[in-house]
C-alpha cells in the first residue's frame, strides 16, 4: 500500500525545491518591504514639505539598496557589519544542522558511512563563519 522508496525519493527532491522556493520568496518579500519603506519615506517627506518644513532640515531619503547610508543601514556606512552578522548567523545554523544530521545518521545506521552527509552543512557553516571574520570591519586607527 505505502511504498517506502517512493516516500524517500519524494523527500529527497522536496528539500532542494523547498530551499529554492524559500529563497525566491524571501527575495520577493524583502524587495516589497524595501519598496514600502521608500514609499512611506516619500509620503512623509511630501507631507512635511506641505506643512512648510524646509526640505534641507529633513532627514535624507533611504537608499534603494537599504544598506548604503549610515542612518538606515543601522550598522555603518557600507553595511559590512550587517553582512558579517548575516554570514555568522547562517554559519552557526549550518553547523548545528550538520551536527544534527551527523548524529542522526550515525545513530540510525552506525555501520554505514551515511553519517558523512552531515559533513557538508557542517563544513559549509565553518566556511561561512570564516568568511564573516574576513568581512568583519576593522577599526582603522591611523
Provide the pLDDT for residue 140. 61
Instruction: Read off the pLDDT of residues 80-124 as tens digits, 9 standing for 90 and up.
Output: 788 888 889 999 999 999 999 888 888 888 888 887 888 889 999
Task: Specify the pTM.
Answer: 0.50
Do 109 and 79 lie in one domain? The reply is: yes
Q: Is residue 11 part of a domain?
A: yes
Do 92 and 115 lie in one domain? The reply is: yes
Do 134 and 87 lie in one domain? The reply is: yes
Q: Is residue 7 part of a domain?
A: yes
Q: Residue 34: CB partners within 8 Å, gap ≥ 6?
A: 64, 66
Asked if 88 contacts 135 with a C-beta cutoff of 8 angstroms, the reply is no
Neighbours of 109 (CB within 10 A): 10
Give the end of a domain, one of 62, 86, 113: 62
Do 50 and 96 lie in one domain? The reply is: no
Do 87 and 142 lie in one domain? The reply is: yes
Residue recorded with cell 537608499: 63
Instruction: Read off the pLDDT of residues 49-91 as tens digits, 9 standing for 90 and up.
Output: 899 888 888 877 766 655 544 444 444 445 778 888 888 999 9
Q: Is residue 68 part of a domain?
A: no
Do 45 and 86 lie in one domain? The reply is: no
Measuring CA to CA, which residue among 78, 76, 81, 53 is closest to residue 65? 78
Rounded Cα gap, residues 131 and 85, in angstroms: 11
Provide the pLDDT for residue 66. 52
Domain ranges, residue 45:
1-62
Measuring CA to CA, which residue among 48, 42, 80, 43 is closest to residue 64? 42
Q: Count how many domains the chain has.
A: 2
Do 49 and 97 lie in one domain? The reply is: no
Do 9 and 47 lie in one domain? The reply is: yes
Measuring CA to CA, which residue among 56, 65, 58, 57 is closest to residue 38? 65
Amino acid at each position: 500500500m505505502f511504498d517506502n522508496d517512493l516516500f524517500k525519493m519524494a523527500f529527497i527532491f522536496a528539500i532542494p525545491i523547498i530551499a529554492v522556493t524559500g529563497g525566491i520568496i524571501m527575495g520577493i518579500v524583502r524587495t516589497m518591504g524595501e519598496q514600502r519603506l521608500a514609499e512611506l519615506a516619500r509620503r512623509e517627506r511630501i507631507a512635511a514639505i506641505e506643512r512648510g518644513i524646509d526640505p534641507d532640515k529633513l532627514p535624507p531619503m533611504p537608499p534603494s539598496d537599504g544598506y548604503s547610508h549610515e542612518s538606515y543601514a543601522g550598522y555603518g556606512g557600507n553595511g559590512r557589519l550587517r553582512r558579517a552578522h548575516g554570514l555568522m548567523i547562517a554559519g552557526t545554523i549550518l553547523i548545528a544542522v550538520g551536527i544534527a544530521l551527523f548524529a542522526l545518521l550515525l545513530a540510525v545506521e552506525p555501520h554505514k558511512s551515511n553519517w558523512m552527509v552531515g559533513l557538508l552543512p557542517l563544513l559549509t557553516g565553518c566556511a561561512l563563519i570564516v568568511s564573516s571574520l574576513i568581512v568583519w570591519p576593522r577599526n582603522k586607527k591611523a
